Amino acid sequence: MNGLLLRWGAPLIGAAVALVLIFMLYGSLDFGKFLDGLRSANLIWVVILAVTILLEQFFNGWKWRQILHDVKPVDTFRLTGALLAGYGANVLVPLGISPLVRAWIIARLEQLKMATVLTTTIISRFIDGVVFALVAGVLALVGKVPQAEGNLELGLSVAGALNIVLFGGLLWAMFRFRTLFASDGPVICRLFDWVAARMRANGPGLRTAICDGVVWPRDATRRAAVFLGAIAAKLIAATHFVWAGLAVGVVLAPWDYIFLMVFSGFIMVLGRFVRIPGSFIFGAGFALQMLGVPPETALLMILFNYIMTILLVVGIGLIVLWQSGIDIRRVQLEAETLNARA
């Protein structure tokens, strides 16, 4: 009974919350207006939306290249393909395995240790968290936030500050204790080796591979490029609703698009944590509602973003997985065994 509750309780509660949110957002939806808006949508802007979705991932791959460069220079397009493959695998096998899949692909293609590559992806993710928090802080500072019940500016400021403390602290800890983690004396290292041995892995070798991935570019230009890549990816992500809105005749103020990205991003992360499916749809829906966009038009904008992202990520991701010699039926099995082989 406890196993059933742990396995199905949280998803069922999340699904129930999702149904309530759907009713709150779209209970008064005029389906006729929705279909009219869909039929009259300008597909040229949808194509531009698809291009910017891929461009965002390209800049994420370029940022990852700067971090990985001192380990081994890797082509940006290869890294971008690995990112898409990881996201695609995670869509089809929703177990949070995208970092493992992308690290496995690059490690296999570049003859690197998987744990080393995986550590660089973690650093990249932490950088994204810091930059996202800074964007949220700027948004709250300039006061370009829609008026809503409660102090939304304060909420964004607190959430941004917590993100900086969390991800900045994790980055500091990784580099501060890298040398300590590579040694054999500390208790935490011996405990790690014991756990690794239980998983039939080489503990000291795995620790060395992880520490080899805790790198920061020696070249100042590449260090700046890490943050420039992260900022560029976030700004491009903010334009996704620009193109989706133009497709259905909606034009908002520039800061409104930043607010859409920040608010929906925070809700999406929170939704993943509490296991609410479709959290991006709800976060973006509430944000567009606060901006005065009609529910029929808002739903079209969200679906254009969501469906195009899924189609591109899964489509290109599966192609990369196939070229890398792994099919989706093996993704879960590989994810479970890769750590032991790193």
DSSP 266-315: HHHHHHHHHT-TTHHHHHHHHHHHHTT--HHHHHHHHHHHHHHHHHHHHH
Structure tokens at 13: 């509660």
Measured CA to CA, the distance from residue 140 to residue 138 in angstroms comes to 5
Question: For the segment 142-156, what is each residue's pLDDT rounded down to a tens digit?
Answer: 767 776 555 677 777
Measured CA to CA, the distance from residue 82 to residue 144 in angstroms comes to 36
Tell me what pLDDT residue 197 has: 84
Per-residue pLDDT for 340 more than 50? Answer: no
Per-residue pLDDT for 1 more than 90? Answer: no
Mean pLDDT of the chain: 82
Per-residue pLDDT for 8 more than 60? Answer: no
Measured CA to CA, the distance from residue 99 to residue 123 in angstroms comes to 11
Residue 27, SS3 per DSSP:
coil
Length of the chain: 342
- Other C-beta atoms within 10 Å of 96: how many? 10
Tell me what the mean pLDDT of segment 324-340 comes to: 52
Classify residue 187 by burial, with Cβ atoms within 10 Å: 0-12, 13-18, 19+.
Answer: exposed
Q: Decide which of 207 and 149 is more confident.
A: 207
CB 86 within 8 A of CB 317: yes
Classify residue 91 by burial, with Cβ atoms within 10 Å: 0-12, 13-18, 19+.
Answer: middle
Measured CA to CA, the distance from residue 27 to residue 16 in angstroms comes to 15
Per-residue pLDDT for 27 more than 80? Answer: no
Measured CA to CA, the distance from residue 121 to residue 281 in angstroms comes to 26
CB 188 within 8 A of CB 181: yes
Question: For the segment 49-71, what is each residue's pLDDT rounded down to a tens digit?
Answer: 999 999 999 999 999 999 999 99
Measured CA to CA, the distance from residue 298 to residue 300 in angstroms comes to 5
Measured CA to CA, the distance from residue 176 to residue 265 in angstroms comes to 29
Sorted by sequence, the CB contacts under 8 Å of residue 150 that are 6+ apart come out as none
Phi, psi at 210, each rounded to 5°: -65, -45
Classify residue 121 by burial, with Cβ atoms within 10 Å: 0-12, 13-18, 19+.
Answer: buried
Q: Decide which of 228 and 265 is more confident.
A: 228
Report residue 177's pLDDT band, with 50, 70 and 90 as the boundaries: confident
Tell me what pLDDT residue 216 has: 93
pTM score, two decimals? 0.83
CA 336-341-342 angle, to 5 degrees, is 105
Half-sphere exposure for 171 (CA within 13 Å, toward CB): 19
Q: Where are the beta strands (DSSP E) in 180-273?
A: none
